[in-house]
Structure formats: structure tokens, C-alpha cells
Amino acid sequence: MKAIETLRDLKADGKPFFLAVGFVKPHLPFTCPQKYWDQYPAESIQMPANAARPANAPEPAFHNNYELASYGTVLENDTVPENGEVSETMALNLIRVYRACVSFMDAQLGRVLDELDRLGLRESTLIVLWGDHGYHLGEQSVWTKMTNFEHDTRVPLIVSLPGMKTTGQHSRALVELVDLYLTLAQLCDLPLPTHLEGTSFVPLLSDPATPWKNAAFSQYLRPGKPPYMGRSIRTDRWRYTEWRDLKQNLVGAELYDETNEPQDNSNLSNDSSHKQTVSDLARQLHAGWKAAKP
């Protein structure tokens, strides 16, 4: 693996280093050695409990699985039709092989971490593991990414520091990938740029319960004729999304209670009992990231 080879060279060089390692899997096309498939017997795979579209959700929230279709044959002898419709047999196979690919990737990550240990670099190396987006495996009737649902916008984020006193703990604080650059710069005693939109979350690494930003933001342009822009805000409890055309006319909204109903089975934006919540979240969404800073 190139990353291991590079680590050996960096160790020999003896200078401080920054190494970005990207793992291709579990990206499409889904391929990995058979032994990882075997970890997930076919009879153990089931469809997600929330495989249906959320009730009352607007049409721009969804897509026709065009990423899957663009790959043609994503599994041996199994081709996604142009309309993106996924049969149950294909769906179960996709879930199985995605899990297999994640385990394959995890094994490669383990090789890199083992090499850090072998080279004696672990105690002087800051490690961050994250994903660039979430992923649908049939949830909300969607496959792959390109949505503003919780499944797509929430990603893994793990930070390991030398001498870290909070090892193994987790935080419920809202952080965003735009925060990573500033966090790494501060941890490495580098100058902190003032023009970036992120917020260094170094304080959370010392105290995961530190009061933090009150919202995280995402957006996705839904291509089409006409196209729609979806902008979404996530607070400690709610996810609220607005879909607007290019003239800024509101064409659909979504509200999900991520605390009490995290499966996102029902869009609550038109529920009269949540009128004030929608109003408050819309105002917060429009106020933007600066107003959400800790």
C-alpha cells in the first residue's frame, strides 16, 4: 500500500509531516475480496425499516438513483435500469456488498495504523478519520448520496491526539467538515486563517460536553428542469430543509424530529402543531452559519 510505503519514507526523513490517505472503498463500483462478502451471509441481510419515502415529503428531496444507473452493472450480472428502479433482490445484494466493502476498507485502515505503531510514530502523530458524505442504502427509498436527509449529511468523525485525556469518549456537539482545517491548524500551532467559515473544535477534544454551535448546515442542488436548491439546517433536535427554485420561490419544505423519530418517516413541516418550530428554524437557516457559531 502506498500509504505504508510513504510512512516509512517519512520516518526515515525525520521531519514533521502531513499525510492525507484516501480509501476508495466503499465507493462504487462495489468490489472487494470474497472473504469480506463471506462476513455477511446473504440470509442475514434485510431491507431498512425506513425504506419508504417519508410521508408528505416534497419531490425535490428525492432522485432516481442516477449515480447507480451511471455505473451500469454495479453487481455481477445485475444492471440498474435507466429509471433507477432497484429490485428487492438487487437491493439486498447492494446492502451486503456495501457492508463487505466497508469491512475491506477497515482492514486497510488497520494496516496503516499498525505501521504507525511499528514505526514508533503513534505517540507523536495526530490522526483524523472522516467520511466526505453519508450514504443511503434504501432508506427513504433512495440509494447512494446527493440528498439533504440525515443519512446523507451525517458522517463519521474520529480524532486521536497524542496524550489525549478523553480517548474513547464521544460528543453530541454539532461540528462540520469545514471545521477540520481550523482544528488541525490550531492543534499544529499554525496560524489560524480568519477568512474561513469553519470553527476550530479543539475545546471539544478536552471537554466533549462544552457548549457548542447551535446548528450545522448543508445544501444540495437538485438538477432538473427546473433545478431546485435544497438548503438544510440541523440543530440538536431538528432537521429543517427548504427547496427553492432559482428565483428563490419556496417549492417544498421538510421537518424531521431527529430525537424522537430518527428514521425520518414523516415530514412534519405542514403539521400545524409544529408551525412555530418551522418559523424558528427557517429564521435560523436564513441567518446562516455565522449566527450559529459557539
Distance CA 22, CA 20 (A): 7
- Is the per-residue pLDDT at 82 higher than 80? no
Extended beta strands in 223-273, E state? 228-234, 238-244, 250-257
The whole-number pLDDT of residue 177 equals: 96
Distance CA 167, CA 192 (A): 25
Helix, strand, coil share (%) of the chain residues, nearest 5: 35, 15, 50
Query: Tens of pLDDT along 140-165?
Result: 999 999 999 999 999 999 999 999 99
Contact 154, 264 (CB under 8 A): no
The whole-number pLDDT of residue 66 equals: 87
Contact 26, 113 (CB under 8 A): no
- Is the per-residue pLDDT at 81 higher than 90? no
The whole-number pLDDT of residue 84 equals: 74
Q: Over the chain, what is the mean pLDDT?
A: 94
Query: What is the mean pLDDT of the segment spanning 9-32?
Result: 94
The whole-number pLDDT of residue 192 equals: 84
The whole-number pLDDT of residue 80 equals: 74
Of 215 and 1, the structure prediction assigns the larger pLDDT to: 215
The whole-number pLDDT of residue 29 equals: 87
Distance CA 294, CA 291 (A): 9
Could you tell me which residues come within 8 angstroms of residue 252 by beta carbon, excluding any fewer than 6 positions away? 57, 58, 59, 60, 61, 228, 242, 243
The whole-number pLDDT of residue 193 equals: 80
- Is the per-residue pLDDT at 74 higher than 70? no
Q: State the pairing for strand pair 127-130/157-160.
A: antiparallel
Query: Tens of pLDDT along 85-121?
Result: 888 988 999 999 999 999 999 999 999 999 999 999 9
The whole-number pLDDT of residue 73 equals: 62
- Is the per-residue pLDDT at 76 higher than 70? no
For the chain, list the domains and their CATH numbers.
Answer: 1-171 (3.40.720.10)
The whole-number pLDDT of residue 147 equals: 96
Could you tell me which residues come within 8 angstroms of residue 201 by beta carbon, excluding any fewer than 6 positions away? 173, 175, 179, 183, 212
Query: Tens of pLDDT along 272-281?
Result: 999 999 999 9
256 closest CA partner among 272, 233, 279, 276: 233
